[in-house]
Amino acid sequence: MSPRAIQPTALVKASLPFAPGGRVTSDDLRARFGEIDIYLFDQLLRGRLDGRRRVLDAGCGSGRNLPYFLAHGFEVFAVDHEPQAVNAVAQLVARVAPGLPPENVRQAEIDTLPWPDESMDAVISSAVLHFARDQPHFRAMVQEMWRVLAPGGLLFARLATSITIANRLDAPTGRVRLPDGSVRFVVDEATLLAETDALGGRLLDPIKTTNVQDQRAMTTWVVEKSHRRVGSPSGLSALQGPD
């Protein structure tokens, strides 16, 4: 069976267009989209994933961002270092998209992904990068996700940063304790812009940050890998965006 041949299920049926004039509830929306990150949902609404059918959720957790993709014929891949998360996503895939190969869901680290170069059209990194141990680990994860991204692909990342709350932190980058009490690896806007340049990528959106009552700041970073290959000091297939 083709990996994209998805059997009809309750979730698939729930994902069909709502009846004209029908009453739509939060349960209806949840059945269609799961607990999807609202900023990833924004990318869907703007058609950013329409032509990017091979989607990797790097740090998938329990699969909160995957129901829509599974129910709509995307070739979904997922990875997490926690075995419980991998088992939960494997069960979700088996239930919603039984045509997908079981090996599409793997237990692995983000900085050593088990897929070939340029094999994904989109990589999702939702609330993952801020668990980096240090700057080299952060860069290794970013570069590895970029490695598997095909030319024209999209990297979507949501991560904790120091943007708008730097005056409440011990440092603008590195592992710090946030005002909400959690310890996270944070970066600033300059770091994200420098990483974008180092990758040879192009920002698809301005860097956007949500300040949660000065307790933490969550930033959306969306980068496109262009089709034109250029050399990279790091040996990666870094690509230069349009002028």
Smallest Cα–Cα separation from 119: which of 241, 3, 203? Answer: 3
Determine, yes or no, domain membership for 9.
Answer: no
What's the predicted TM-score (pTM) here? 0.84
Query: For the chain, which ranges sit under pLDDT 50?
Result: 1-16, 230-243
Determine, yes or no, domain membership for 15.
Answer: no
Determine, yes or no, domain membership for 225.
Answer: yes
What pLDDT shows up at residue 19?
54
What pLDDT shows up at residue 142?
98
CATH of the domain at 184: 3.40.50.150
What pLDDT shows up at residue 239?
32
Q: Hey, how many other C-beta atoms are within 10 angstroms of the C-beta on 206?
A: 8
Backbone angles phi, psi at 148, to 5 degrees: -80, -5
Q: Spell out the residues 6+ positions from residue 180 whose beta carbon is closer than 8 angstroms to its own.
A: 212, 215, 216
What pLDDT shows up at residue 227?
77
Each residue of 192-217: pLDDT tens digit?
A: 999 999 999 999 999 999 999 999 99
Determine, yes or no, domain membership for 197.
Answer: yes
